Structure 1
Amino acid sequence: MDWLSEHAWSVWLAAAAILGVAELMSLDLVLVMLAVGAVAGMVAALVGAPVLLQLLVAGGAAAAMLALVRPPVVKRLHTGPDLRLGHGKLVGQEARVTAAVTPHETGRVRLGGEEWSAAPYDGLSTIAVGATVEVLEIRGATALVHEVPSLEA
């Protein structure tokens, strides 16, 4: 029993290593939090704290990690950039008018390497051939566009 009390730090270190390796297989971020608690228990053992205090320190550190660190880390890992598919990825892009866009007749724009039918977004504008427009919405196979003001006067 003397050996165990003198080498408690190595038991804590082994527990942390085992939990760390097990975390590599589970990838759930629970066992790594427990491993941090084991490291805290190891530090308490190196300082010379009694076994009961080592257990309390390890348990407290593990509980704190599970309650305070894991939720935001998991949330950050599970969120990512919005994936825009289909027509949605074309909204916000610029296009070049190839056939005049008028309120009464749909025109044509070159958008994403393809020809699209186009109508004015506000329903009132007339956009000349060669103008640069921004796609504000896609309705069916028609791009609703608004002319981008140019700096040329």
Structure 2
Amino acid sequence: MWWLIGAVALGIPLVLTAMPEFGMLAVGAVAAAVTAGLGGGVAMQAVVFAVVSVALIAVVRPIAARHRAQRPELISGVEALKGRSAVVLERVDSSGGRIKLAGEVWSARPLDTEQSFEAGQEVDVVEIDGATAVVM
């Protein structure tokens, strides 16, 4: 019973501080409680608590740290439009034009001011400058 009380006591700082190590120690305490329930002695309970807790910290903590360090793969907003293909609706030249990008009509200008694209041509979006797509 004391191990289960200890597990709950370790769960409280886990929730308050969001430190996963407390959760791993709580799992070790539950494992020790199971050992006690199966008739293991106090020494065996302490060994099970230590082994399970250390094993979880040694294995799970590096994996969690790796996942925490990774940036999300989801790109949204204007960044998601860069590199996409679009269809020219109205001639695009240095004075502007219109394209259909991701189902929407955008104003556009070429990356190279000497270049122009005719209606129906497919272009690639290089960047978004305000409400204007820069294409090539």
- Is 1:134 aligned with 2:102? no
Q: TM-score, normalised by structure 1?
A: 0.66
- 8 A Cα contact 1:106 1:119, kept in partner: no
Separation (CA, whole Å) in 2 of partners of 1:107 and 1:130: 16
Q: Which residue number corresponds to residue 108 of structure 2? A: 116
> What secondary structure does 2:72 align onto?
coil
> Whose strand proportion is higher, 1 or 2?
2
CA displacement, residues 91-128 of structure 1 (integer Å, 9 cap, x when unaligned): 12232322156xxx6863424643121247xx98x742
Residue-pair matches, total = 129
- When residues 15 and 36 of structure 1 are mapped into structure 2, their CA distance, relative to the original with a 3 A threshold, is same
Q: Which residue number corresponds to residue 99 of structure 1? A: 91
Displacement after TM superposition at 1:21 (Å): 2.3
Kindly report which structure 2 residues correspond to 1:11-30, keeping only aligned pairs within 5 A, or say none.
11-30=2-21
CA displacement, residues 6-55 of structure 1 (integer Å, 9 cap, x when unaligned): xxxx0001111111122111111110000001011111111211211111
Provide the alpha-carbon RMSD of the alignment. 3.0
Partner AA of 2:25 in structure 1: L
Q: Which residue number corresponds to residue 56 of structure 2? A: 65
Q: TM-score, normalised by structure 2?
A: 0.73
- When residues 106 and 86 of structure 1 are mapped into structure 2, their CA distance, relative to the original with a 3 A threshold, is farther
Separation (CA, whole Å) in 2 of partners of 1:117 and 1:85: 22
Unmatched 5+ stretches in structure 2: none
Q: Which residue number corresponds to residue 43 of structure 2? A: 52
Q: Which residue number corresponds to residue 35 of structure 1? A: 26
In our comparison, the structure showing a higher alpha carbon Rg is 1
